[in-house]
Structures are given as C-alpha cells and as structure tokens.
Amino acid sequence: MKTLLFNIKELLQIRDEGIQKVAGADMKELPAIKNAYLLVEDEKIIDYGSMQELTDYNADQVIDARGQIILPAWCDSHTHIVYAGNREGEFVDRINGLSYEEIAAKGGGILNSAKKLQNSTEQELFEQSSQRLQEVMQLGTGAVEIKSGYGLSPEAELKMLRVIKTLSKSYPVTIKSTFLGAHAFPALFKDDQSAYIDQICKEMIPLVAAHQLADFIDVFCEKGYFDTEQTAQILETGTRYGMRPKIHVNQFNSIGGIQVGISHNALSVDHLEVMTQDDIDSLKHTEVMPVALPSCSYFLSIPYTPARTMIDQGLPLALATDFNPGSTPSGNMNFVVATACIKMKITPEEAINAATINGAYAMGLSSSHGSITKGKFANLIITKDIPSYNFIPYAFGSNVIDKVMIKGTFI
C-alpha cells in the first residue's frame, strides 16, 4: 500500500539516518523542505523531496496537502498513562493551599493512586488506559514510554506491566515499558524501607525480567522517596536483568540523583526542575538525555527546568508529558511544546527537536522514530492550513492538527 502526500507546504525535521539526537546550538536547526512530497509504503517512509523532483504520482492513496505542514509524530518519552481513577480532590486541596508533598505525607499522592489501582481489575485498567492512549494518538503522539509504579506490590506491578504490554499489542503506537516499583514506599514498609528495596531487587525485578515486561528501570530519587544509595542499588539490579535506567531526579531537590544516573549509564534523567550548575556540568560530555516535563511544572506551580541555560551550555534536551493522575493529568505534547517555548524560552525549532528526535533517543528509538528519514516509520502529524510552524506553539490552546498517521495508517 503506497500513500503519496504532495504539495506539502513544508516538510519538517528531515534527518540523515545516522543522527540519533541533537544538542546545544544544533537544536536551533530544523532541516526542512518547502513545497515537498512524501511517499509512504506500508509502515515506512520510502521517499521525499521537493515538488520539482516529483515525476510519478502513482500510489494507492494520493493526498493534496496544500497549505499543510508535515512533521514527525511526537515521541513522548515519559508517561504514567496506566492508572486507575483520578485525583481531582487533591487538585482542589492544592488550590486551597496544601503542597504536593503535604498531600503525599497524609496518604494522598502516589499511595492514593496505588490503592485505586490495587482495587481495579486488569480489564478495567486496560479500558481506562486505552482511552488515554487513543486521546494522545489523536493529539499526534506516535511513540510513548509508559511506567508502572502505581502497583507497589509484586502482583499489582505485574498487572500494570501486563496492561502496558496489552496496549502495545492493541494499538499501532510504539510503546516502551518501564518498571517503576520504586515510586514510593508502600504504607506496609514505612518503617522498614530496606525490606521494600529487597522486595524490589530480589522478587519484583527478577519476575519482571522473567516475563519480559520492561525495557527500562526507573526510581523516584527524591527526599522522602528513594535516596541515592537505594537508587543505586535498584539501578544496579535492574541493569543486571537487562533494564537500562531512566530515572526521576531533581523534581523538588538536587540530592545527587543525576550523578547516580550518569554512573549507572542511564538513557535519560527526567524532571530536572531544580538544577545546580554542578548538575548541569555533570551532564556535559555524557550520552544521557536530560528530559524536561513542563506540563508538570505548570500543573504543580513548581519551577521549570532551566532548559535555556542547559541548551546554551551545549546539552541536548527532550520534552515529554509525564501524563499521570497526580502531577500532570494531561498527555498533550502540543501543550508541552508550547509551554516549553513560552515558559522555558526555547525556540520552536528547539522544542520540536526536543519532542521528536530527542524524545525518540530517550526511549532508545531514534533509529526508527523521531524524524523524516527513509526507512523510518511513517509516523506523521499533518497540520491544518497554518501560516508557519511557529504557529504550532503560538496557538497554544488550539488544535492545529488535521490528521495523524501512525505506521502508515491514518488514525
């Protein structure tokens, strides 16, 4: 099955095969062809170029994209899409003055979601999560990472991971799975943290690996959650079982989580709302992708990742949603891209690089996703008739997407 898209106003993010990520000043470049065509065969991009070079209009499906911009679908490298119920009560508590940490300290937060999840069947969880996944696909997401971490017991963590696997079999979107048993200490282990670390390392990680349920290992490394020593122990065990680290660090405090991530060969370090110059320096000359989650900063009214400073100092950056019931009940990558431009002062080119090729890198997917490259999946956002790509973050409250293609099929 061949699909030809022609008269494309601008085809964005055209990259050579070898480009895995972009960093520093290179993030300002967004290679593009104006007045372009794009040819898709089955699931893949097979050709593209300028309209002058197009001689053969033969295809099963021919689409005139006059006025429309085409870019790679978003690559959302950090989400918690699988969860049960919502926490809008805590949202109101925060409006009334409680902080995220205070709500967690009185049994709300992650433990509140864990209770709801433990009481849900696998089927209920699948249905709720499917709805969220379908929504984000419509919003232009073509690849997504999903974490466990609301189970906090061997059975419930495995249930979450099985739901992630079923989602990946049920939808065309590419899904990467992360084991986040170390998201919070369950009430049962409040006074014996080392017993929970043992359960994670000796019971959960081996089970998850035996059932091939996770690509990555994550820890919420933060004051009141997991300290750097506990984090290191879990990352070491995860790595031994074939899961590469991708971790939550520096959301509220800088406690050395970035350095633990770097020394354990993390693929990414995520959140980074609170960064010291030392933290930024540590990331230089490493292969670790820093990931910012601006919708989380927006929703919790916490600082934004100092993305401008980080990119100016030569670092790469990826953007992701953090879609979860507590700190970010939104999986809208368009809002993330706009908020990054508006609040972090990064340019539309930098934000689009961060949300496509660098997001793909942060999931280990940059050889197949995140750019317009021959042989990569035809995961595309086709915008409405808009004046320029700057309009995508500028019109932050509008849906500028006309169609989304995932693996060669319009959804």
| Calpha distance 380→39 (Å, rounded) | 12
**Is the CB of 103 or the CB of 344 nearer to ligand NIG?**
103
Query: Which residues neighbour 168 within 8 Å (Cβ) at sequence distance 6 or greater?
Result: 174, 175, 177
288-327: which residues touch Fe ion (CB under 5 A)? Answer: 322
Tell whether residue 251 is a contact of ligand NIG (CB under 6 A). Answer: yes
- Note whether 132 binds ligand NIG by CB under 6 A: no
- Is residue 325 near ligand NIG by the rule CB under 6 A? yes
Residues in contact with ligand NIG, shown as a per-residue x/- string from 280 to 299 under the rule CB under 6 A: ----------------x---
- Candidates 46-54, 162-170, 323-331, 333-341: pick the segment binding ligand NIG (CB under 6 A): 323-331
Which does residue 113 touch among Fe ion, ligand NIG, none (CB within 5 to 8 A, set by kind)?
Answer: ligand NIG
Residues 70-129 that bind ligand NIG (CB under 6 A): 109-110, 113
109 binds, among ligand NIG, Fe ion, none (CB under 5 to 8 A by kind): ligand NIG
DSSP assignment of 172-218 equals SSEEEEEEEEETS--GGGTT-HHHHHHIIIIIIHHHHHHTT--SEEE
Q: Ramachandran region of residue 129, left (φ > 0), alpha (ψ -120 to 50) or beta?
A: alpha
Does 220 engage in binding with ligand NIG (CB under 6 A)? yes
Q: Report what 251 binds from ligand NIG, Fe ion, none; CB cut-off 5-8 Å by kind.
A: ligand NIG
- Non-local (6+) Cβ contacts of 294 within 8 A are 304, 305, 319, 336, 339, 340, 343, 344
Give the nearest residue (CB) to Fe ion.
Answer: 322
Select 252 or 389, whichever has its Cβ closest to ligand NIG.
Answer: 252
**Which tokens is 327 given?**
């700190």
Residue 326, interface with ligand NIG (CB under 6 A)? yes
Distance separating alpha carbons of residues 380 and 174, to the nearest angstrom: 13
Distance CA 5, CA 380 (A): 11
User: Where is 88: in which H helix or E strand?
Assistant: helix 88-95
C-alpha span between 48 and 128 (Å, rounded): 38
Asked whether position 350 contacts Fe ion by CB under 5 A, the answer is no
| Nearest residue relative to ligand NIG (C-beta) | 326
- Shortest separation between residue 213's beta carbon and ligand NIG, angstroms: 20
Residue 324 engages ligand NIG in binding (rule: CB under 6 A): yes
* Residue of 406, 404, 402 lying closest to 67 (CA atoms): 402
Token readout for 325 is 């019931």
* Contact residues: Fe ion, CB under 5 A: 322
* Contact residues: ligand NIG, CB under 6 A: 109-110, 113, 220, 248, 251, 296, 322, 324-327
